[in-house]
Amino acid sequence: MIKKAVVPVIHEFGTYLFVPDLELYHAFINYYVNNVEDSYNHYITDRHGRKFKFWSKPGGLRNPKTNELAFEYILSWKDAIGASKCHIVVKPLFGPGTKTKTGQILNLPEIGTNIEVQCSYFELHDILDIYEDILKAIGATRFEHSIDCKRSRIFHMARHVRYHERHEPEVVYMLKGIKNNSSMRGDVDLVEKVRSGKYDMYKIDLPSFDVCNIETDFVHSVKSYRIKNFLERTASDPLRHPKLEVFLNSKEHKRIYGKYPTIDEFLQIEKDLDRLLASLLNFVGPIE
């Protein structure tokens, strides 16, 4: 007998990759100055044929040597429907005493290059492959193994499954139970939006999963939600149906533990999110 299993997928993922060498930032400057003729129409292509638009803009930090705003370098790609996307911003870190564009002094502890990544439907290994491809394109492969994993942080990570809308009452009933239990234990934030009797969004931040007898290793939130135009779609269209998503609550994690998780903890977070998601689905009962 063939058994079907629901397999979670990563949705949104955000990380700060830290390279403890300011020369990587200078490599981006050098490439831009010598290779970009049209600042509105320059692309770098990765190994899968994805064309990342590449441009620069003044950032929010001043170069301490010139007191001028340091430029940031951006690479951005999205698929034809805008569901899968990847946005990368390369920024300099000038260390203690750095001034912002408004003159405020930041006590940044690091000197190096910060690579901020925000993406959808990309795993960490996908991001690292793209990083390697970009380095190859700009002639900076010497930095291929320079990411400091212990000082690179994850600020967003979500895993979800899509389920049939016939199960929505049970899912939302469970989430309401979690919300009610969390309200009696302390703070809780709730977003509840209903469209034509169906839940556009039911999101709980700062939840306690004790009522479901679930323990997690990291701090997570949960939501059931739909695509914006779901009412225009037929029941046979998968995009009409809601998703149950669990995601890292990085701000609360930082408040409790003093810092965001590192990318060394990526697989631990992924397993923790999947375990939470499976437990919630099991709590609801058979679901498709």
Is pLDDT above 70 for 4?
A: no
Is pLDDT above 90 for 234?
A: no
For the segment 85-101, what is each residue's pLDDT rounded down to a tens digit?
A: 999 999 999 999 899 99
- Token pair of 282, please? 């099991």
pLDDT grade, residue 5 (50/70/90)?
Answer: low
Is pLDDT above 70 for 286?
A: no
Q: Which pLDDT score is estimated for 2?
A: 52
Mean pLDDT of the region 194-221: 91
Distance CA 171, CA 177 (A): 10
pLDDT grade, residue 114 (50/70/90)?
Answer: very high
Distance CA 44, CA 50 (A): 8
Distance CA 24, CA 98 (A): 18
- Token pair of 157, please? 């990570």
Q: Are 156 and 266 contacting, i.e. CB atoms less than 8 angstroms apart?
A: no
State percent of the chain over pLDDT 70: 97
State percent of the chain over pLDDT 90: 76
For the segment 131-186, what is each residue's pLDDT rounded down to a tens digit?
A: 999 999 999 999 999 999 999 999 999 999 999 999 999 999 999 999 998 888 77
Distance CA 54, CA 77 (A): 9
Mean pLDDT of the region 19-24: 98
Q: Which pLDDT score is estimated for 185?
A: 75
Q: Are 24 and 140 contacting, i.e. CB atoms less than 8 angstroms apart?
A: yes
Report the chain's mean pLDDT, rounded to a whole number. 92
Is pLDDT above 60 for 3?
A: no
pLDDT grade, residue 285 (50/70/90)?
Answer: low
Work out the number of other CB atoms within 10 angstroms of the CB of residue 154. 23
Mean pLDDT of the region 224-228: 90
Mean pLDDT of the region 192-209: 92
Half-sphere exposure of 126 (CA within 13 A, CB side): 18
Which is it for strands 198-205 and 220-225: parallel, antiparallel or unpaired? antiparallel
pLDDT grade, residue 249 (50/70/90)?
Answer: very high
Q: Which pLDDT score is estimated for 109?
A: 85
Is pLDDT above 80 for 288?
A: no
What's the pTM?
A: 0.91
Q: Which pLDDT score is estimated for 163?
A: 92
Domain ranges of the chain: 21-147, 158-284
Q: Which pLDDT score is estimated for 237?
A: 86
pLDDT grade, residue 23 (50/70/90)?
Answer: very high
pLDDT grade, residue 33 (50/70/90)?
Answer: very high
Using CA atoms, how far residue 14 sits from 127, 267, 281, in Å, is 10, 14, 25
Using CA atoms, how far residue 222 sits from 204, 237, 276, 280, in Å, is 6, 24, 10, 10
Q: Which pLDDT score is estimated for 27?
A: 98
